[in-house]
Protein backbone atom coordinates (compact mmCIF):
# COMPACT_ATOMS: atom_id res chain seq x y z
CA UNK A 1 0.00 0.00 0.00
CA UNK A 2 1.24 3.45 -0.88
CA UNK A 3 -0.19 6.91 -0.38
CA UNK A 4 -1.00 9.02 -3.41
CA UNK A 5 -1.10 12.80 -3.60
CA UNK A 6 -4.68 14.04 -3.58
CA UNK A 7 -5.95 17.23 -5.18
CA UNK A 8 -9.30 18.66 -4.16
CA UNK A 9 -11.39 19.07 -7.28
CA UNK A 10 -15.03 20.07 -7.25
CA UNK A 11 -16.92 20.40 -10.51
CA UNK A 12 -18.43 23.80 -11.14
CA UNK A 13 -21.64 22.03 -12.12
CA UNK A 14 -21.89 20.64 -8.58
CA UNK A 15 -21.36 24.07 -7.04
CA UNK A 16 -23.96 25.55 -9.38
CA UNK A 17 -26.46 22.82 -8.46
CA UNK A 18 -25.98 23.51 -4.74
CA UNK A 19 -26.44 27.22 -5.23
CA UNK A 20 -29.52 26.76 -7.41
CA UNK A 21 -31.13 24.44 -4.87
CA UNK A 22 -30.48 26.87 -2.01
CA UNK A 23 -31.92 29.75 -4.04
CA UNK A 24 -35.02 27.75 -4.98
CA UNK A 25 -35.70 26.35 -1.52
CA UNK A 26 -39.34 26.57 -0.48
CA UNK A 27 -39.34 27.73 3.11
CA UNK A 28 -41.88 26.12 5.43
CA UNK A 29 -43.55 27.22 8.63
CA UNK A 30 -42.35 27.68 12.18
CA UNK A 31 -44.45 27.60 15.37
CA UNK A 32 -45.53 30.81 17.04
CA UNK A 33 -43.20 31.33 19.97
CA UNK A 34 -44.21 32.39 23.44
CA UNK A 35 -42.49 35.07 25.43
CA UNK A 36 -38.82 34.17 26.03
CA UNK A 37 -39.25 30.83 24.23
CA UNK A 38 -36.11 29.48 22.59
CA UNK A 39 -36.53 29.57 18.77
CA UNK A 40 -34.32 26.45 18.53
CA UNK A 41 -36.50 24.45 20.93
CA UNK A 42 -38.33 22.74 18.05
CA UNK A 43 -35.21 22.15 15.94
CA UNK A 44 -33.34 24.44 13.56
CA UNK A 45 -34.59 28.02 13.88
CA UNK A 46 -36.28 29.29 10.71
CA UNK A 47 -35.03 32.87 11.11
CA UNK A 48 -31.45 31.79 11.72
CA UNK A 49 -31.50 29.38 8.78
CA UNK A 50 -32.87 32.06 6.46
CA UNK A 51 -30.04 34.37 7.49
CA UNK A 52 -27.41 31.66 7.03
CA UNK A 53 -28.75 30.77 3.58
CA UNK A 54 -28.78 34.44 2.59
CA UNK A 55 -25.08 34.56 3.47
CA UNK A 56 -24.61 31.33 1.51
CA UNK A 57 -26.00 32.96 -1.62
CA UNK A 58 -24.56 36.45 -1.19
CA UNK A 59 -21.12 35.98 0.37
CA UNK A 60 -19.93 32.41 0.76
CA UNK A 61 -17.31 31.08 -1.69
CA UNK A 62 -16.26 27.41 -1.78
CA UNK A 63 -12.90 28.51 -3.15
CA UNK A 64 -12.12 30.16 0.20
CA UNK A 65 -12.80 26.91 2.04
CA UNK A 66 -10.72 24.95 -0.42
CA UNK A 67 -7.84 27.39 0.04
CA UNK A 68 -7.97 26.83 3.82
CA UNK A 69 -7.80 23.08 3.32
CA UNK A 70 -5.03 23.36 0.76
CA UNK A 71 -2.68 24.95 3.28
CA UNK A 72 -1.87 21.32 4.05
CA UNK A 73 -0.86 18.31 1.97
CA UNK A 74 -3.64 15.87 1.09
CA UNK A 75 -3.28 12.19 0.25
CA UNK A 76 -5.31 9.05 -0.31
CA UNK A 77 -4.49 5.40 0.29
CA UNK A 78 -6.59 2.36 -0.54
CA UNK A 79 -7.35 0.35 2.57
CA UNK A 80 -9.78 -2.58 2.52
CA UNK A 81 -11.01 -1.47 -0.88
CA UNK A 82 -11.80 2.12 0.19
CA UNK A 83 -9.82 5.19 -0.81
CA UNK A 84 -9.10 6.87 2.51
CA UNK A 85 -8.34 10.58 2.37
CA UNK A 86 -6.06 12.18 4.93
CA UNK A 87 -4.18 15.37 5.63
CA UNK A 88 -0.54 15.08 6.67
CA UNK A 89 1.52 17.90 8.15
CA UNK A 90 5.04 16.95 9.18
CA UNK A 91 6.04 18.47 12.49
CA UNK A 92 8.97 20.67 13.40
CA UNK A 93 11.84 19.47 15.52
CA UNK A 94 14.27 16.60 15.09
CA UNK A 95 11.92 13.71 15.85
CA UNK A 96 8.24 14.74 15.92
CA UNK A 97 5.84 12.15 17.28
CA UNK A 98 2.95 11.07 15.08
CA UNK A 99 -0.53 12.22 16.14
CA UNK A 100 -3.60 10.69 14.48
CA UNK A 101 -6.71 12.88 14.91
CA UNK A 102 -10.16 11.59 13.97
CA UNK A 103 -13.27 13.73 13.50
CA UNK A 104 -16.90 12.70 13.93
CA UNK A 105 -20.43 13.52 12.76
CA UNK A 106 -21.60 16.07 11.78
CA UNK A 107 -18.02 17.28 11.53
CA UNK A 108 -15.19 16.75 9.07
CA UNK A 109 -11.47 17.37 8.75
CA UNK A 110 -12.43 21.06 8.54
CA UNK A 111 -12.73 20.96 12.34
CA UNK A 112 -8.94 20.80 12.49
CA UNK A 113 -7.90 23.55 10.05
CA UNK A 114 -7.00 25.92 12.90
CA UNK A 115 -5.16 23.36 15.06
CA UNK A 116 -3.02 21.40 12.58
CA UNK A 117 -0.36 24.07 12.14
CA UNK A 118 -0.39 24.90 15.85
CA UNK A 119 0.31 21.27 16.70
CA UNK A 120 2.87 20.69 13.95
CA UNK A 121 4.73 24.00 14.28
CA UNK A 122 4.27 25.40 17.79
CA UNK A 123 7.19 27.76 17.27
CA UNK A 124 4.89 29.82 15.04
CA UNK A 125 2.69 30.49 18.09
CA UNK A 126 5.22 31.19 20.80
CA UNK A 127 6.02 27.54 21.57
CA UNK A 128 9.04 25.32 21.04
CA UNK A 129 9.82 23.60 17.74
CA UNK A 130 10.81 20.42 19.56
CA UNK A 131 7.19 20.06 20.68
CA UNK A 132 6.07 19.76 17.06
CA UNK A 133 3.95 16.78 16.07
CA UNK A 134 3.44 15.13 12.69
CA UNK A 135 -0.33 15.43 12.36
CA UNK A 136 -2.45 12.94 10.40
CA UNK A 137 -6.14 13.76 9.94
CA UNK A 138 -8.13 11.19 7.94
CA UNK A 139 -11.70 11.53 6.69
CA UNK A 140 -13.86 8.71 8.04
CA UNK A 141 -15.04 6.13 5.48
CA UNK A 142 -18.05 7.59 3.68
CA UNK A 143 -17.18 11.11 4.87
CA UNK A 144 -15.47 14.09 3.27
CA UNK A 145 -13.00 13.21 0.55
CA UNK A 146 -12.76 9.53 1.49
CA UNK A 147 -14.40 6.85 -0.59
CA UNK A 148 -17.73 5.29 0.28
CA UNK A 149 -17.96 1.79 1.75
CA UNK A 150 -20.26 -0.68 0.03
CA UNK A 151 -22.20 -1.17 3.26
CA UNK A 152 -22.08 0.39 6.73
CA UNK A 153 -18.94 0.00 8.81
CA UNK A 154 -18.37 1.42 12.27
CA UNK A 155 -15.67 2.51 14.72
CA UNK A 156 -14.22 -0.95 15.31
CA UNK A 157 -13.58 -1.62 11.61
CA UNK A 158 -12.32 1.92 11.12
CA UNK A 159 -9.81 1.55 13.96
CA UNK A 160 -8.32 -1.48 12.19
CA UNK A 161 -8.08 0.58 8.98
CA UNK A 162 -6.41 3.45 10.84
CA UNK A 163 -3.78 1.17 12.35
CA UNK A 164 -2.97 -0.12 8.86
CA UNK A 165 -2.85 3.45 7.56
CA UNK A 166 -0.41 4.56 10.23
CA UNK A 167 1.86 1.50 10.18
CA UNK A 168 1.63 -0.11 6.75
CA UNK A 169 1.03 2.98 4.60
CA UNK A 170 2.83 5.73 6.50
CA UNK A 171 5.46 3.62 8.26
CA UNK A 172 4.96 4.83 11.83
CA UNK A 173 6.02 2.12 14.27
CA UNK A 174 4.07 3.91 16.96
CA UNK A 175 1.68 6.83 17.20
CA UNK A 176 -0.73 8.62 19.53
CA UNK A 177 -4.43 8.80 18.63
CA UNK A 178 -6.89 11.57 19.51
CA UNK A 179 -10.59 11.96 18.85
CA UNK A 180 -13.95 13.41 19.78
CA UNK A 181 -17.46 12.33 18.76
CA UNK A 182 -17.05 9.26 16.49
CA UNK A 183 -13.36 9.96 16.70
CA UNK A 184 -13.46 9.16 20.41
CA UNK A 185 -14.92 5.71 19.69
CA UNK A 186 -12.46 5.01 16.87
CA UNK A 187 -9.66 6.15 19.16
CA UNK A 188 -10.87 3.97 22.02
CA UNK A 189 -11.00 0.96 19.67
CA UNK A 190 -7.43 1.72 18.61
CA UNK A 191 -6.39 1.66 22.24
CA UNK A 192 -8.36 -1.48 23.03
CA UNK A 193 -7.49 -3.59 19.99
CA UNK A 194 -4.43 -2.01 18.37
CA UNK A 195 -2.37 -0.73 21.28
CA UNK A 196 1.31 -1.47 21.58
CA UNK A 197 0.42 -4.03 24.24
CA UNK A 198 -1.72 -5.86 21.65
CA UNK A 199 0.87 -5.82 18.88
CA UNK A 200 -0.48 -2.69 17.22
CA UNK A 201 1.10 0.72 16.76
CA UNK A 202 -1.02 2.89 19.06
CA UNK A 203 1.04 3.83 22.13
CA UNK A 204 -1.45 6.20 23.81
CA UNK A 205 -4.86 7.75 23.24
CA UNK A 206 -6.55 11.03 24.09
CA UNK A 207 -10.34 11.37 24.03
CA UNK A 208 -12.55 14.42 24.35
CA UNK A 209 -15.91 12.59 24.57
CA UNK A 210 -17.11 9.58 26.54
CA UNK A 211 -18.03 7.57 23.46
CA UNK A 212 -16.89 4.00 24.13
CA UNK A 213 -18.48 3.28 27.50
CA UNK A 214 -17.00 1.10 30.19
CA UNK A 215 -19.00 -1.62 31.96
CA UNK A 216 -18.95 0.33 35.23
CA UNK A 217 -22.39 0.88 36.73
CA UNK A 218 -23.20 4.11 38.59
CA UNK A 219 -22.80 3.71 42.36
CA UNK A 220 -22.22 7.03 44.09
CA UNK A 221 -24.74 9.86 44.20
CA UNK A 222 -22.66 11.79 41.66
CA UNK A 223 -22.54 8.81 39.31
CA UNK A 224 -26.26 8.21 39.61
CA UNK A 225 -26.94 11.90 38.98
CA UNK A 226 -24.77 11.73 35.86
CA UNK A 227 -26.67 8.66 34.62
CA UNK A 228 -30.02 10.38 35.16
CA UNK A 229 -28.81 13.51 33.40
CA UNK A 230 -27.51 11.50 30.43
CA UNK A 231 -30.81 9.63 30.17
CA UNK A 232 -32.72 12.92 30.13
CA UNK A 233 -30.34 14.40 27.56
CA UNK A 234 -30.64 11.41 25.25
CA UNK A 235 -34.43 11.57 25.53
CA UNK A 236 -34.36 15.14 24.25
CA UNK A 237 -31.36 14.97 21.90
CA UNK A 238 -31.09 11.35 20.77
CA UNK A 239 -33.81 11.06 18.09
CA UNK A 240 -31.28 11.67 15.30
CA UNK A 241 -29.10 8.91 16.78
CA UNK A 242 -31.89 6.33 16.72
CA UNK A 243 -32.89 7.31 13.20
CA UNK A 244 -29.38 7.18 11.80
CA UNK A 245 -28.64 3.87 13.55
CA UNK A 246 -31.81 2.16 12.32
CA UNK A 247 -33.15 3.79 9.13
CA UNK A 248 -30.39 5.94 7.61
CA UNK A 249 -31.57 5.30 4.06
CA UNK A 250 -34.97 6.88 4.69
CA UNK A 251 -33.29 10.04 5.94
CA UNK A 252 -30.97 9.92 2.94
CA UNK A 253 -33.84 10.16 0.46
CA UNK A 254 -35.07 13.34 2.12
CA UNK A 255 -31.65 14.95 2.35
CA UNK A 256 -30.07 13.99 -0.98
CA UNK A 257 -31.92 16.65 -2.95
CA UNK A 258 -31.86 19.40 -0.32
CA UNK A 259 -28.71 21.33 0.57
CA UNK A 260 -30.79 23.46 2.93
CA UNK A 261 -32.13 20.35 4.62
CA UNK A 262 -28.63 18.98 5.13
CA UNK A 263 -27.46 22.34 6.40
CA UNK A 264 -30.27 22.60 8.95
CA UNK A 265 -29.74 19.00 10.14
CA UNK A 266 -26.02 19.64 10.67
CA UNK A 267 -26.06 23.21 11.96
CA UNK A 268 -28.70 22.42 14.57
CA UNK A 269 -26.12 20.12 16.21
CA UNK A 270 -23.44 22.81 16.14
CA UNK A 271 -25.93 25.09 17.84
CA UNK A 272 -26.96 22.60 20.49
CA UNK A 273 -23.68 20.84 21.27
CA UNK A 274 -21.30 23.79 21.50
CA UNK A 275 -20.22 25.90 24.46
CA UNK A 276 -22.08 28.96 23.22
CA UNK A 277 -24.34 30.26 25.98
CA UNK A 278 -24.87 34.01 26.11
CA UNK A 279 -25.49 36.13 29.21
CA UNK A 280 -29.18 35.22 29.11
CA UNK A 281 -28.43 31.50 29.05
CA UNK A 282 -29.41 31.08 25.39
CA UNK A 283 -27.24 29.36 22.82
CA UNK A 284 -25.83 31.53 20.02
CA UNK A 285 -24.01 30.13 17.02
CA UNK A 286 -22.11 33.38 16.59
CA UNK A 287 -20.43 32.96 19.99
CA UNK A 288 -18.35 30.13 18.52
CA UNK A 289 -18.63 30.11 14.73
CA UNK A 290 -18.74 32.38 11.74
CA UNK A 291 -21.22 31.66 8.94
CA UNK A 292 -18.23 30.79 6.77
CA UNK A 293 -17.06 28.11 9.20
CA UNK A 294 -20.50 26.52 9.47
CA UNK A 295 -21.01 26.45 5.72
CA UNK A 296 -17.49 25.19 5.04
CA UNK A 297 -18.23 22.09 7.10
CA UNK A 298 -21.64 21.63 5.45
CA UNK A 299 -20.19 22.03 1.99
CA UNK A 300 -17.73 19.19 2.54
CA UNK A 301 -20.77 16.91 2.80
CA UNK A 302 -22.45 18.51 -0.19
CA UNK A 303 -19.60 18.70 -2.70
CA UNK A 304 -18.83 15.03 -2.05
CA UNK A 305 -22.49 13.95 -2.01
CA UNK A 306 -21.98 11.77 1.04
CA UNK A 307 -24.51 12.84 3.62
CA UNK A 308 -26.23 9.44 3.56
CA UNK A 309 -23.02 7.39 3.70
CA UNK A 310 -21.90 9.47 6.67
CA UNK A 311 -25.03 8.35 8.53
CA UNK A 312 -24.22 4.71 7.69
CA UNK A 313 -21.52 4.96 10.36
CA UNK A 314 -24.31 4.88 12.95
CA UNK A 315 -25.70 1.66 11.52
CA UNK A 316 -22.17 0.26 11.45
CA UNK A 317 -21.81 1.14 15.12
CA UNK A 318 -25.07 -0.63 15.93
CA UNK A 319 -23.94 -3.76 14.08
CA UNK A 320 -20.32 -3.84 15.34
CA UNK A 321 -20.56 -2.35 18.80
CA UNK A 322 -17.79 -0.20 20.24
CA UNK A 323 -17.83 -0.27 24.03
CA UNK A 324 -15.24 -1.56 26.52
CA UNK A 325 -16.47 -5.04 27.55
CA UNK A 326 -16.43 -5.99 31.20
CA UNK A 327 -13.09 -7.55 32.00
CA UNK A 328 -11.27 -5.66 29.25
CA UNK A 329 -9.42 -2.37 29.53
CA UNK A 330 -7.45 0.10 27.45
CA UNK A 331 -4.09 -0.47 29.11
CA UNK A 332 -1.97 1.99 27.15
CA UNK A 333 -1.88 5.54 28.59
CA UNK A 334 -5.16 7.43 28.23
CA UNK A 335 -5.68 11.19 28.36
CA UNK A 336 -9.07 12.84 28.91
CA UNK A 337 -9.86 16.37 27.82
CA UNK A 338 -13.13 17.03 29.64
CA UNK A 339 -14.31 20.09 27.75
CA UNK A 340 -17.55 22.00 28.36
CA UNK A 341 -19.52 19.34 26.48
CA UNK A 342 -23.28 19.89 26.81
CA UNK A 343 -24.28 16.66 25.04
CA UNK A 344 -22.40 13.44 25.91
CA UNK A 345 -20.57 14.26 29.11
CA UNK A 346 -17.94 12.31 30.99
CA UNK A 347 -19.11 10.54 34.15
CA UNK A 348 -17.17 10.78 37.40
CA UNK A 349 -13.64 9.56 36.91
CA UNK A 350 -14.07 6.16 38.59
CA UNK A 351 -16.43 4.98 35.89
CA UNK A 352 -14.00 5.97 33.16
CA UNK A 353 -11.00 4.39 34.88
CA UNK A 354 -12.88 1.10 35.11
CA UNK A 355 -12.04 0.55 31.44
CA UNK A 356 -9.31 3.09 30.68
CA UNK A 357 -5.79 3.53 32.05
CA UNK A 358 -6.25 7.25 32.68
CA UNK A 359 -2.94 9.00 33.29
CA UNK A 360 -4.11 12.51 32.39
CA UNK A 361 -7.39 14.31 33.05
CA UNK A 362 -8.11 18.00 32.56
CA UNK A 363 -11.45 19.71 33.16
CA UNK A 364 -12.34 22.80 31.14
CA UNK A 365 -15.16 25.30 31.41
CA UNK A 366 -14.87 26.42 27.79
CA UNK A 367 -15.24 24.80 24.35
CA UNK A 368 -17.75 22.03 23.85
CA UNK A 369 -18.38 19.10 21.54
CA UNK A 370 -16.36 20.60 18.68
CA UNK A 371 -13.49 21.69 20.91
CA UNK A 372 -10.82 22.00 18.21
CA UNK A 373 -13.05 24.28 16.18
CA UNK A 374 -14.48 26.21 19.11
CA UNK A 375 -11.22 27.13 20.85
CA UNK A 376 -8.12 26.13 18.89
CA UNK A 377 -5.49 27.43 21.38
CA UNK A 378 -7.14 25.68 24.34
CA UNK A 379 -7.52 22.41 22.43
CA UNK A 380 -3.91 22.49 21.27
CA UNK A 381 -2.66 23.27 24.77
CA UNK A 382 -4.57 20.27 26.13
CA UNK A 383 -3.13 17.89 23.52
CA UNK A 384 0.37 19.25 24.10
CA UNK A 385 0.00 18.78 27.88
CA UNK A 386 -0.88 15.13 27.33
CA UNK A 387 1.95 14.57 24.86
CA UNK A 388 4.48 15.99 27.32
CA UNK A 389 3.36 13.46 29.93
CA UNK A 390 4.24 10.67 27.52
- pLDDT tens per residue, range 63-88: 999 999 999 999 999 999 999 999 99
Q: Is residue 3 part of a domain?
A: no
Q: What is the CATH number of the domain that holds 129?
A: 3.40.50.1820
Q: Is residue 246 part of a domain?
A: yes
| 154 phi and psi angles, rounded to 5 deg | -125, -165
Question: For residue 102, how many C-alpha atoms fall within 13 Å in the half-sphere facing its CB?
Answer: 32
Q: Is residue 149 part of a domain?
A: yes
Around Cβ 256, how many Cβ atoms within 10 Å? Answer: 13
pLDDT at 328: 96
Residue range 343-386, pLDDT digits in tens? 999 999 999 999 999 999 999 999 999 999 999 999 999 999 99
Q: Is residue 2 part of a domain?
A: no
Domain of 304? 42-389
CB-based contact 61:276 (threshold 8 Å)? no
Q: Is residue 6 part of a domain?
A: no
User: Is residue 280 over pLDDT 90?
Assistant: no
Predicted TM-score (pTM) of this structure? 0.97
pLDDT at 124: 97
How many structural domains comprise the chain?
Answer: 1
Query: Cβ neighbours of residue 121 under 8 Å, at least 6 residues apart?
Result: 91, 92, 129, 132
DSSP string, 48-117: HHHHHHHHHHHT--HHHHHHHHTTSEEEEEEETTEEEEEEEE--SSSSPEEEEEE--SS--GGGGTTTHH
> Buried (b) or exposed (e) across 202-232, using 16+ Cβ within 10 A?
bbbbbbbbbbbbbebebeeeebeebeeebee
Amino acid sequence: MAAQNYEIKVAQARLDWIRDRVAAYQWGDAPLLGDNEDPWAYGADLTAMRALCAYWLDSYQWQDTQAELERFAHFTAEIDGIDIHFIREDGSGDNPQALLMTHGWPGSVYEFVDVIDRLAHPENYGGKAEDGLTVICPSLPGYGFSGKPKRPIGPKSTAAMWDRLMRDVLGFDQYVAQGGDWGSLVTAMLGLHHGKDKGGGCKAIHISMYGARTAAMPESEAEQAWAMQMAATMQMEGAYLQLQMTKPQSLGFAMADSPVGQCAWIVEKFHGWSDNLNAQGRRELARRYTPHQLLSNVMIYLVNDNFVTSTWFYRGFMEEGADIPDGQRVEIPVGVGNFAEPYITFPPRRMVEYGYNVVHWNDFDQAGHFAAMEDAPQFVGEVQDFMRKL
